[in-house]
Amino acid sequence: MRTTLSLDDDVAAMLQTARKQQKKSFKQVINDALRAGLEKQRRPARRTTRFRTASAKLGRCLVGDIDDVAEVLALAEGESFS
């Protein structure tokens, strides 16, 4: 099939570099690149292993109620909160 493609400059440069390195025709380099890209899109994505963070015991909470941000900040700054 014959078609016309409009390529971005960086893509055209990569294709020209691949053509020179592989010593293939421009048509063959484009077909190979399209096949590889389309095949990669068709395959399901590889599952990655889940990262787990180990928990650590930090001791008891030194602040009475950590839901009250104003109280926590006041205690951190050495103010008495009333």
Residues 14-72: tens digit of each pLDDT? 999 999 999 999 999 999 999 999 998 888 777 788 888 999 988 887 777 778 888 88
Q: Report pLDDT for 35.
A: 94
How many Å is the Cα radius of gyration of the chain?
30
Q: Contact 1/11 with Cβ under 8 angstroms?
A: no
Is the confidence at residue 78, as pLDDT, over 70? yes
Is the confidence at residue 82, as pLDDT, over 60? no
Give the Cα separation of 7 and 82 in Å (integer). 68
Residue from 56, 72, 53, 7 nearest 33 by CA: 7
Distances (CA, A) of 1 to 4, 30, 71, 72: 10, 13, 73, 71
3-state class (DSSP) for residue 35: helix
Q: Report pLDDT for 32.
A: 95
Angle, helix 26-42 to helix 9-22, in steps of 10 degrees: 110
